[in-house]
């Protein structure tokens, strides 16, 4: 278990427009294609990119649940803090 601050990759503008600093997103492992995604309101806000992505995937597969809190929004760029719950 660990926490990390990162930016969302390929942010979805329709979802980003609904976010505010402090918004909490669900972090899920998507299998096809395999990627870790942040979800808000049932929609994918963007993908999680991290040097420790393989560690996140392993932890999620082992049952660890993560959330991502929005810490900054600058235009279309969204910074999140990913943490275990």
pLDDT, one tens digit per residue, over 34-68 is 899 999 999 999 999 888 899 989 999 999 999 99
Instruction: Give the phi and the psi of residue 47 in degrees, each rounded to 5.
Output: -95, 155
The number of folded domains in the chain is 1
9's enclosing H/E stretch is strand 4-9
pLDDT class of 76 with cuts at 50, 70, 90: confident
DSSP, collapsed to helix, strand or coil, labels residue 57 as helix
Q: Which domain holds residue 35?
A: 4-84
| pLDDT tens-digit map of 12-33 | 999 999 999 999 999 999 988 8
- Separation CA 63–CA 51 (nearest Å): 20
Q: What is the pLDDT of residue 16?
A: 95
CATH number at residue 11: 3.30.70.2330
Closest CA to 37 of 23, 57, 52: 57
DSSP state of 68: E
Token match 């990913």: residue?
Answer: 82
């Amino acid at each position: 278990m660990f926490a990390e601050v990162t930016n969302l990759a390929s942010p979805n503008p329709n979802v980003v427009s609904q976010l505010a600093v402090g918004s909490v997103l669900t972090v899920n492992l998507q299998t096809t294609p395999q990627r870790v995604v942040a979800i808000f309101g049932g929609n994918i806000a963007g993908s999680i990119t991290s040097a420790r992505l393989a560690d996140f995937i392993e932890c999620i597969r082992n049952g660890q649940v993560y959330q991502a809190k929005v810490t900054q929004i600058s235009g279309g760029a969204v910074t999140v803090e990913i943490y275990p719950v």
